[in-house]
């Protein structure tokens, strides 16, 4: 992922202001260590920190149209850029960059072109003919983006809020699927798929259609001119990403450049469930597997850096981000610059265990819609910023626009969890890849029960974080928490500890307001309790469930015909710690 910074409509066009914009842009250099660029037109500045994935030789930014009257700075990947170039045959391209199409599409179609883009992106486009500009963010919010306002009337845009927090009077998260137009003076939504209205779909489930849509989503993400791999925890989602990638890698441009054997990566404490499961899947798929170990102390030592990079104090997100942050550094040290990851599946298919208690298909569907809409605040934020911290890009096929349209158009009756019929969570996805003649994965992996990433990396990880927080936050501090932190008041010592660190880096009120709060938003605890009051005893934000609640979600007498209806396994005399409702998840399925 690259880093972009724009200052638009500034009253100061001096050399001093240019130097200041460059200084702030350097705060994003971790996102784009390969090259820096800046464009100035009067009081309008567009800066860019580049991570070169496609066309490393000539794709430096900002990018231009033919006469350089249209200027664009982009963070993202446009997977359909070759097809778009064909539509723009009357235009002259200067680079092989996938992002250059944006400038030419604007010339050809005006501000309405954004929905033509298939990819992940945040961009600022300046039309120097009239000094108008547009800003846009991808459909789900996989790329991070913030907008701020200066006292002089200027508008600031940045990939991360650390480039805004000292110079803006107010800043906030730029909403996914939206465009900001200076001509209109505000936001409008460009992403309006049928599922967004939360109307209940009626399309029958077709496993082959779903499988094809996911394979297409993976294949288009193999567009790269640099070494890449997959994140593999051994859970369903990451294993499917790895399996499809391994099948289709041969014959691609990437395989010709870097070899047809896929590289996979996993992180965990010594002896963790993830390490064992990932090794099994890697052996089955024949990947070149890289296993990274860390200790609880390694993770604790990294917490401050993690919070500085991910820019949140959400407990679940920090727990899951830290191992991913450490792993990303190791991956980048191997020369890899892009990875495919498995986020988004649980939101699309209702993979959290509280979905077992959804009373109707309407409730089930609407809750998945809400989960997808909140992803940019949790899983997308984590995946984007923990990898970008080390100049690594994460691509997420489960959140492909076309795939989501197919998956969310399925009658939710098929997604409902019905143990009596052998349908565990995400059954429609598992069934789509249950190919007896040409298996994608072993059966026990394909129908493996869910386990959250924070516990999958090692059961001592969360316990170690809680113990460390207890040593640094006193009972007296907790008594005064509501006075110190009146907004989103931390209710645990762990949350208080993270909040203290966050406030040190980001003391502005705007910063604390970018982090959502309240149980109904943060992890759907309220929804889980609404569906079944038994969940009220399981309010840890990680979603760790008591053994009784967890077991009750499944058939207590599993049979060979009810594939996946299993009791929780016991590891080191501990019940399997499973995800109940936390959106801040997953490499793990």
The full DSSP string for 456-502 is HT-THHHHHHHHHHHHHS-HHHHHTHHHH--TT---SHHHHHHHHHH
- What's the total number of domains in the chain? 2
- CATH assignment of the domain containing 306: 3.40.50.620
Closest CA to 473 of 460, 484, 462: 484
Same structural domain for residues 496 and 412?
Answer: yes
- Contact between 117 and 102 under an 8 Å Cβ cutoff? The reply is yes
7 and 45 inside one domain: yes
Task: Give per-residue pLDDT as tens, 421-470.
Answer: 989 999 999 999 999 999 999 999 999 876 654 567 877 999 999 999 99
For residues 223 and 116, state if they share a domain: no
Secondary structure class of 346 (helix, strand, coil): helix
Using one digit for the tens of pLDDT, what is the confidence trace for 52-100?
998 888 888 999 999 999 999 999 999 999 999 999 999 999 999 999 9
Is 314 within any annotated ligand binding site?
no
Q: What is the mean pLDDT of residues 24-30?
A: 98
Q: Of 192, 213, 246, at which residue does a domain stop?
A: 192
Q: Would residue 583 count as lying in a domain?
A: no
Helices (H), 7-121: 15-25, 81-87, 101-109
Task: Kindly indicate the confidence band of residue 24, based on its pLDDT and cuts at 50, 70 and 90.
Answer: very high
Instruction: Answer yes or no: do 96 and 227 share one domain.
Output: no
The catalytic residue positions are 2
- With residue 365 as reference, give the H or E element that holds it: helix 361-374
* pLDDT at position 451: 60
Instruction: Quote the pLDDT of residue 572.
Output: 35
pLDDT for residue 584 is more than 50: no
Is residue 201 over pLDDT 80? yes
Q: Is residue 171, in this structure, part of any structural domain at all?
A: yes
Encode pLDDT of 467-518 as tens digits. Answer: 999 999 999 999 999 999 999 999 999 999 999 999 999 999 999 999 998 5
- Annotation-wise, does 342 bind a ligand? yes
Same domain, 288 and 143: no
Is residue 277 one of the residues assigned to a domain? yes
Residue 178, in any domain of the structure: yes
Q: What is the pLDDT of residue 388?
A: 98
Q: How far is CA 487 from CA 174, 246, 374, 491, in A?
A: 21, 47, 19, 12
The CATH number given to whatever domain includes residue 124 is 3.60.20.10
Is the pLDDT confidence value at 22 over 60? yes
Q: What is the pLDDT of residue 200?
A: 97
The residue behind tokens 């070149």 is 288
206 is in an annotated binding site: no
The alpha carbon of 501 is separated from its chain's Cα centroid by a whole number of angstroms, namely 23
Note the pLDDT of residue 107.
95
pLDDT score at 448: 81
Nearest Cα residue to 267 out of 334, 215, 326? 326
Range of the structural domain that residue 344 is part of: 197-575
Q: In this predicted model, what pLDDT tens digit does every residue of 364-411 receive, in sequence order? A: 999 999 999 999 999 999 999 999 999 999 999 999 999 999 999 999
Q: Is residue 584 part of a domain?
A: no
Bridging pattern class, strands 288-293 and 263-268 = parallel
Which of 192, 208, 231 is where one domain is finished? 192
Whether the predicted pLDDT of 576 surpasses 90:
no
341 annotated as belonging to a binding site for a ligand:
yes
What distances in angstroms separate CA 239 from CA 247, 330, 341, 395, one per listed residue?
12, 20, 10, 15
Residue 218 and residue 167 share a domain:
no
| Per-residue pLDDT, 21 | 97
Mean pLDDT of the chain: 89
Q: What is the pLDDT of residue 543?
A: 52
Q: Are residues 150 and 293 in the same domain?
A: no
Tokens of 408: 């969310």
| 390-402 core/surface letters (b: 16 or more CB in 10 A; e: else) | bbbbbbbbbbbbe
pLDDT top residue among 559 and 190: 190
Is 585 inside any structural domain?
Answer: no
User: Among 161, 192, 223, which residue terminates a domain?
Assistant: 192
Clarify whether residues 104 and 202 are in a common domain. Answer: no
| Contact status, residue 551 vs residue 425, Cβ threshold 8 Å | no
How many whole angstroms separate alpha carbon 20 and alpha carbon 292? 39
DSSP summary character for residue 356: G
- pLDDT, average across residues 558-570: 31
Tell me, rounded to whole angstroms, the distance of Cα 440 from its chain centroid: 24
Q: Is 98 annotated as a binding residue?
A: yes
Residue 528 pLDDT more than 90? no
Q: Compare 18 and 517 and report the one with higher pLDDT.
A: 18
Q: Are residues 338 and 236 in the same domain?
A: yes
% of the chain with per-residue pLDDT over 70: 88
Prior bond to 223 cis, omega within 30?
Answer: no
122 and 61 belong to one structural domain: yes
Residue 580 covered by a domain: no
Average pLDDT over residues 227-233: 96
Whether 470 is covered by a domain: the verdict is yes
Residues 205, 329, single domain; the answer is yes
Residues 214 and 82 in one domain: no
Of 510, 509, 512, nearest to 498 (Cα)?
Answer: 512
């Amino acid at each position: 992922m690259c880093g972009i910074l724009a200052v638009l409509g500034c009253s100061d066009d001096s050399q001093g202001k240019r130097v200041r914009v460059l200084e702030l842009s350097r705060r994003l250099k971790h996102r784009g260590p390969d090259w820096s660029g800046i464009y100035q037109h009067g009081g309008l500045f567009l800066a860019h920190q580049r991570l070169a994935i496609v066309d490393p030789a000539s794709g430096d930014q900002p990018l231009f149209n033919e006469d350089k009257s249209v200027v664009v700075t982009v963070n993202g990947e446009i997977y359909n850029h070759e097809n778009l170039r064909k539509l723009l045959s009357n235009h002259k391209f200067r680079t092989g960059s996938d992002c250059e199409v944006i400038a030419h599409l604007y010339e050809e179609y005006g501000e309405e072109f954004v929905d033509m883009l298939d990819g992940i992106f945040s961009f600022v486009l300046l039309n120097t003919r009239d000094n108008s500009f547009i800003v846009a963010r991808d459909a789900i919010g996989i790329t991070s983006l913030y907008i701020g306002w200066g006292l002089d009337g200027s508008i600031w845009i940045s990939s991360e809020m650390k480039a805004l927090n000292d110079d803006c009077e107010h800043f906030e998260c730029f909403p996914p699927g939206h465009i900001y137009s200076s001509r209109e003076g505000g936001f409008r939504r460009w992403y309006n798929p049928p599922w967004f209205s939360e109307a209940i779909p009626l399309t029958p489930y077709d496993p082959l259609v779903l499988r094809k849509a996911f394979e297409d989503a993976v294949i288009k993400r193999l567009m790269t001119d640099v070494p890449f791999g997959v994140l593999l925890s051994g859970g369903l989602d990451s294993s499917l990403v790895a399996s499809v990638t391994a099948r289709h890698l041969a014959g691609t441009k990437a395989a010709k450049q870097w070899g047809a054997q896929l590289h996979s990566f996993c992180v965990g404490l010594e002896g963790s469930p993830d390490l064992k499961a990932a090794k099994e899947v890697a052996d089955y798929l024949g990947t070149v597997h890289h296993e990274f170990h860390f200790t609880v102390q390694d993770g604790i030592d990294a917490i401050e850096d993690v919070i500085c990079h991910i820019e949140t104090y959400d407990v679940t997100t920090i727990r899951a981000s830290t191992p991913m942050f450490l792993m990303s550094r190791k991956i980048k040290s191997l020369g890899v610059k892009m990875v495919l990851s498995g986020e988004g599946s649980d939101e699309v298919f209702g993979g959290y265990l509280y979905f077992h208690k959804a009373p109707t298909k309407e409730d089930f569907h609407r809750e998945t819609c809400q989960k997808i809409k909140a992803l940019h605040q949790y899983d997308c934020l984590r995946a984007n910023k923990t990898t970008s911290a080390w100049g690594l890009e994460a691509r997420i096929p489960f959140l492909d626009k076309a795939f989501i349209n197919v998956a969310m158009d399925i009658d939710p009756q098929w997604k409902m969890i019905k143990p009596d019929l052998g349908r565990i969570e995400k059954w429609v996805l598992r069934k789509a890849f249950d190919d007896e003649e040409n298996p994608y994965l072993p059966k026990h992996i394909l129908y493996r029960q869910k386990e959250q990433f924070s516990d999958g990396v090692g059961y001592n990880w969360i316990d170690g974080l809680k113990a460390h927080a207890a040593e640094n936050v006193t009972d007296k501090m907790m008594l005064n928490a509501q006075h110190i932190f009146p907004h989103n008041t931390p209710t645990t010592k762990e949350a208080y500890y993270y909040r203290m660190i966050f406030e040190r880096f980001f003391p502005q009120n705007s910063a604390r307001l970018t982090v959502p709060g309240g149980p109904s938003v943060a992890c759907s605890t309220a929804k889980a309790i609404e569906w079944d009051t038994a969940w009220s005893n399981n309010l840890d934000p990680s979603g760790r469930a008591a053994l009784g609640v967890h077991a009750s979600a499944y058939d207590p007498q599993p049979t060979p015909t009810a594939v996946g209806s299993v009791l929780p396994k016991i590891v080191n005399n501990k019940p399997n710690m499973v995800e109940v409702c936390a959106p801040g998840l997953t490499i793990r399925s």
